[in-house]
Amino acid sequence: MTTPIPQNFVQTIAKQRGVTDAELETLFMALDGQSTANIGSKLGISDIAVRKRLGEVYKKFQIAGNGPGKLSELRHQLLFSYHTEQGSSDFSRGKGSVFKMALGGRQEDWGQAPDVSVFYGRTEELTTLKQWIVSDNCRVVALLGLAGSGKTTLSVQLGKQLQNEFDFVIWRSLRSAPTPSDFLAGLIQLFYHQQKSELPLAEPAPTGGSSTKRIDLNDKISRLVEYLRKQRCLLILDDFEAVFRPEELAGHYREGCEGYRDLIVRLCEVNHHSCLVLVSSEEPTELSLLAGEKVRSLKPAISSEIPREIFQEKGLSAQDREWEILLARYGGNLLALKIVATTIHEFFEGNVVKFLEATALFIEEHISNLLAQQFDRMSSSEQEISYWLAIAQSPISLATLREQMLVNSSLSDFLKNLDSLNRRSLIEKISEGGETVFMLQPLIVQYVSERLVEQIRGEVLETIKTQGIERMRLLKTHNLSTSIAQQKGIEEARSRSILELVKNRLQVLFMKTTGSEEPLNILTKVASDLEDKSMLEVGYAKENLAQIIAEHTAVETASTKAKSADAD
């Protein structure tokens, strides 16, 4: 348990910021670690009112952003102000980082870790992780999963529950991708700082020399390992994917960040009694190679328990069938489900059924941006495969996927791409009918489909504008009429094919502009010009254009018949 900041100090600082008595009373309880629900119960106000009071406090302390990390940032500000006034040096040099001395000499540094006063479920995962770290003495444990799956919150809760098992607990985010040298120097400085000694950042030059020799990265890793041997330390590194290169296969380090590989390998192989917990949406390649008794990985399971608690907090309830649909749409993405719960509460009068009927698959802008970041990190070959998986809309086998793709890559390269998508937590591998099949995560299906539809729509418009296929790419490389879901008669919201979505977008556009007759005539002429072309020349363009024309012609025919019937 850490030494609290005196309430009179907090009160003085808060009053200087214009915090009201009611807000201050709520703040004291929040800093004491009480949940918003518990605070509301004690004060006789709603959970929403508690959050509003705390929101006002954050504004007055100029703390921006979303999520529970704001309370943690406020606590850091208050601690920093207090210890600065007291002339204390119990702080590391990292931005926003405070090193707290706990009872019995135990030390904690939570950096910018989010607040976890509200935590749902994950009992099974916590039990497994505790077993690995405490009982099995694992040296490295990885928490892997898609952005929004709750990895960060789980890592903080894990650290809180294990803090009495370690001499040091340190939590760090690598979101800004610090160089390995700077990161290690900060950690080593932290250990030296607590021992009241100076960190020699350079070694003396040989006798008679006038310069000094910088400590190299390997030496810094060795020094850190020595500390991890002498003291039992739990080191949690969040946002580890930030040190990897985008637009390449998963696990390739950014230039200048290759030293993190050396750090992980050393901590996996060298005997010590500490534990490194890596939290990442992208699995380091070396982890799968070093996995064993002391090196393990965990992907938090898709749980219905946590979403139910999230919905209950909003005063929402749903039947089993409704939960099945929600989990099928959003998988284990807890951030998406939190946003959905808020949307249902604020715009659908708390009625889950109305929301499900009105939205095929709702993705809020914040989630869409997170998914865009994940997609943009893929290599071009991974993006091609993800488009095919989105078109299929159902699990697809390796053989079928390779057969449909026009790019004739080697089986080895193809498997490397699938492995990379798996290490990014973007696809699922399922055993079906004695063979392994692949499918995208639910939210990724929707995002990739939306992206593909917009690009195809743009290519069709360019075809109409130029009356040629020179600017076609995806229309040539991807067969839009191969939805396995439709072939199997799957009647879920996802079963609408990419082709149908493209048709709908174009139909709306044509109705708003010139009508569809002229564009259809142009597309028909372009399609006729492709009749004598081979697949080697035009790929799937001929088939895709024929399907798009047929879809629009069917709509036009149906519309004409309807008008004739009305006239009669």
Q: What is the pLDDT of residue 80?
A: 63
> Which CATH class name applies to 1-91?
mainly alpha
Q: What is the pLDDT of residue 490?
A: 43
pTM listed for this prediction: 0.72
Order of all β-strands in the sheet with 140-144: 99-101, 107-109, 168-173, 233-238, 275-280, 140-144, 295-298
φ, ψ dihedrals at 445, nearest 5° = -55, -50
Structure tokens at 136: 């099995």
Per CATH, 1-91 and 363-568 having the same topology is answered yes
**By the 8 A CB rule, do 379 and 417 touch?**
yes
How far is 391 from 461, CA to CA, in rounded Å? 20
Domain residue spans in the chain? 1-91, 119-196+216-300, 305-361, 363-568
How far is 336 from 334, CA to CA, in rounded Å? 5
Give the three-class secondary structure for 2: strand
Crossing angle of helices 380-392/411-423, nearest 10°?
80
What is the per-residue pLDDT across 430-475, written as a single tens digit (0 to 9) for each?
888 788 899 998 888 888 998 999 999 999 999 999 998 888 999 9
How far is 5 from 13, CA to CA, in rounded Å? 12
> Which CATH class name applies to 363-568?
mainly alpha
How far is 420 from 33, CA to CA, in rounded Å? 40
- Whether the CA torsion 536, 538, 539, 542 is positive or negative: it is negative
Q: What is the pLDDT of residue 480?
A: 86
Q: Hunting for tokens 């980082």 — which residue is that?
A: 97
> What is 119-196+216-300's CATH number, 3.40.640.10, 3.90.550.10, 3.40.50.300, 3.40.50.12280?
3.40.50.300
Tens-digit pLDDT string for the chain (568 aa) = 444 577 788 888 888 778 888 888 898 888 888 888 889 888 888 888 888 898 888 888 877 665 556 787 787 777 766 655 554 333 333 333 444 544 445 688 888 888 777 777 788 899 999 999 999 999 999 999 888 888 998 999 999 999 889 989 999 999 999 999 999 988 888 877 555 444 455 454 455 444 444 468 999 999 999 999 888 999 999 999 999 999 999 999 999 999 999 999 999 999 998 999 999 999 999 998 898 889 999 998 777 788 888 888 888 988 889 888 888 888 778 888 888 999 999 999 999 999 988 887 677 777 888 888 889 999 999 999 999 999 988 889 988 888 888 766 788 999 999 999 999 989 988 888 788 899 998 888 888 998 999 999 999 999 999 998 888 999 999 988 765 544 444 444 344 678 888 888 887 777 766 666 788 888 999 999 998 888 888 999 998 898 888 876 655 555 555 455 555 5
Structure tokens at 428: 């699922």
Q: What is the 3-state secondary structure (H, E, C) of 448-471?
A: HHHHHHHHHHHHHHHHHHHCCCCC
Structure tokens at 153: 């919150």
Q: What is the pLDDT of residue 262?
A: 95
Q: Hunting for tokens 């490397």 — which residue is that?
A: 416
